[in-house]
Amino acid sequence: MNAFAPQRPSLTVILANPRGFCAGVDRAIQIVERAIAKYGAPVYVRHEIVHNNHVVDRLKKLGAVFVEDLNDCPDDRPVVFSAHGVPKSAPAEAERRRMFYLDATCPLVSKVHLDAERHHAAGREIILVGHAGHPEVDGTLGQLPEGAIRLVETLEDAMGVEPRDPDNLAFVTQTTLSMDDTAEIMLALKTRFPRIVGPHGRDICYATTNRQEAIKAMSAACDLVLVVGSATSSNSQRLVEVAVKAGARDARLIDDAGCINPSWFEGVRVLGLTAGASAPEVLVEGVQDWLAARFDLSIDVAETARETVTFKLPRVLTQEAEPA
């Protein structure tokens, strides 16, 4: 060892747990992988299967072709609908064209769809709390006739809602929102419309909730929090916001270790590290390697929950092939 080598600065890294892939993301990725293995390439996927650039690029190399419209898919190749869900018009069009399709919609998103249909069947006007333009929101809006669901994005929107019948309202939410921000909007709706009907539990998914709780638990102790996830990932963006609100001096969203700017570490002694629900653990490991090459690391873990949820794959992908 060189006695004259400069001493590396010390850095405490707090790893959030849970972090990374949720059950819905894992299921969606497996559906694409198994479809390619069973039916050969190419397999077409309507919209990014999950919002992570690395996952999408890896699946492209395996033979997935990502499109935004079924018009870009041939009739004779399998098509997969993304984890975010699709409007009812998508499977209807696939059936009209006699296409073979697999639905990778997260079961928790499907629950929101079913709740919206139940409210509509009961004659209620429906409010959807979510972000305009997000594919999950587009999919939920597309479950019912145009105008049946009203989108509310902000507290200001909630205060401006003028329903046809204030006593016959219901609400559902996007699954990847900030719990705190959504709670504020829901409180406003319930205060204005005491008879509004909500979900039996809550629509924000367990994985979004768990990752936000984990980052809340550690952020006050952190000079900087790094969230591994793509800019298109709603749940990853919310983690950055939650970290700052929970007391982190700074928080950054990064695709991978290559996006880290060393200047961020000026004065940083404690770093929080987590990953959005669509980010693979290998990217977190890459960040740890980047840090280990520059700092004398001490690793702590902030665990707030243990996840055991799994979702079944479509039977057509798990059943044995029929003998010839």
Residue 40 has φ and ψ, to the nearest 5°, of 80, 165
Whole-number Å distance between alpha carbons of 248 and 284: 19
Check if 136 is active-site.
yes
CA distances from 237 to 96, 137, 180, 224, 265 (A): 37, 16, 14, 15, 21
Q: Which residue in 33, 136, 184, 303 is the catalytic one?
A: 136
Whole-number Å distance between alpha carbons of 78 and 35: 8
Helix (H, G, I), strand (E, B) or coil at 156: helix
Distance of CA 161 to the CA centre of its chain: 27
- Asked, as a colleague might, if the bond just before 18 is cis with ω within 30 of 0, I would say yes
Q: Which residues is 12 bridged to in the sheet?
A: 270, 298
Q: Residue 19's closest CA among 312, 227, 176?
A: 227
Q: Any idea which residues carry the catalytic annotation?
A: 136
